[in-house]
Amino acid sequence: MRIRQAFTFAVAAAALICASAEAVEIRNVPVVTQIQGVTFYRTSMTISNGNPTITTPVEMLFSYRSPADGSFQLTTLTLSPLGPHQVRFFDDIVQEFKNAGRIRAADVSLGLFGTLLVAFPALDIRREAEVVARTYSAAPGGGTLGFSYQALCFDCAGSQFPIFGAGRSGSVFGNDGSTRANLGIINQGFGPTDVRITYYNGDTGAQLKQFLLSTVPGGHLLEENEVFQLNNIFNDPAIPSNVHTLEIQVEATGGSENYVSAYIVQLDNTTQDGSFFYLFEE
């Protein structure tokens, strides 16, 4: 059974207990992580129920590529019900899965990077189901540095058409420091898909490179609800050192059920402070 269909059936069954099979809102969190990069990154999460009278169950599906053996893993976690106008916060959502014994033994001590679906089986009004994530790391001298992003509506995420966005890299950012760009891609469709990526010179518009995600080191067809991130995309032999802006095009390959979404994270090279934004979808 397809991953997203199976999860939808599961939350629909939960909806039957509390209301009706039609009452369900699902949110797609593009990235959740607990991993050592340049610094140690974690993802916090705020989940809220805006309904004034209904208590809803909360079901989560975590999808990730195992760093132990490269297999694609799915695991679920049921939270305690969320009452009317209640908010729940987790400072490390991946750790919640680990604490609950939902991560297999081969992966539990390793850094994980994946996507999350969050379902509210008793809600059927879009504005009432809210999920916001923040990926962050410790800041020098105390506190944290990070970037927040809102989860996408399960039914709205992804496009069959090319999607576009821009990234920047360079030795100067204003008067201070420099930045780098990471590109993330999520399969929002049904079944595995390859992804075609095209880089254009932001100054001239000339095409610099076009490639399939399956051809990059560590690349492969993306499974349903899988994320893959290309780090420091300007560190590519196809991009001349004097090019500091890219227009980026991303599109799924194959059939009519293939949808992708994508994001860019713009990171400061010194502080690791980041900004997150989605590529534009039609």
The per-residue pLDDT for range 178-203, each reduced to its tens digit, is: 888 999 999 998 899 999 999 999 99
What pLDDT is stored for residue 271 in this prediction?
Answer: 80
Read off the pLDDT of each residue in 95-123 and give the average, rounded to a whole number: 96
Q: How far is CA 243 from CA 22, 37, 170, 202, 273, in A?
A: 50, 25, 8, 8, 22
**Top-confidence residue, 157 or 123:** 123
Band of residue 5 on the pLDDT scale cut at 50, 70, 90: low
Query: Phi and psi (nearest 5°) for 204?
Result: -110, -20
Q: Where are the domains of the chain?
A: 3-153, 163-278
Residue 125 has pLDDT above 50, yes or no: yes
Average pLDDT of the chain is 89
Torsion angle in degrees (nearest 10) through CA of 196, 27, 31, 112: -120
Read off the pLDDT of each residue in 21-39 and give the average, rounded to a whole number: 87
Query: What is the percentage of the chain residues whose pLDDT exceeds 90?
Result: 70
Residue 52 has pLDDT above 80, yes or no: yes
Structure tokens at 231: 């780090």
What pLDDT is stored for residue 114 in this prediction?
Answer: 97
Torsion angle in degrees (nearest 10) through CA of 12, 17, 23, 26: -50
What pLDDT is stored for residue 280 in this prediction?
Answer: 87
What pLDDT is stored for residue 161 in this prediction?
Answer: 87
Read off the pLDDT of each residue in 269-281 and give the average, rounded to a whole number: 86
Read off the pLDDT of each residue in 219-243 and give the average, rounded to a whole number: 94
Residue 17 has pLDDT above 50, yes or no: no
Residue 177 backbone zone (phi > 0: left; psi -120 to 50: alpha; other: beta): left
What pLDDT is stored for residue 60 in this prediction?
Answer: 97
Read off the pLDDT of each residue in 152-180 and give the average, rounded to a whole number: 80
> CA torsion sign, 230 to 6 to 162 to 71?
positive
Residue for token pair 């369900």: 24
Q: Which of 27-31, 47-51, 177-181 shows the lowest per-residue confidence on average (mean pLDDT)?
A: 177-181
Structure tokens at 277: 């934004």
CATH topology of domain 163-278: Hypothetical Protein Tm1070; Chain: A (2.60.290)
What pLDDT is stored for residue 3 in this prediction?
Answer: 54
Torsion angle in degrees (nearest 10) through CA of 13, 127, 31, 133: -120
Structure tokens at 184: 């993330």
Rounded Cα distance between 4 and 189, Å, is 8
pTM comes to: 0.88
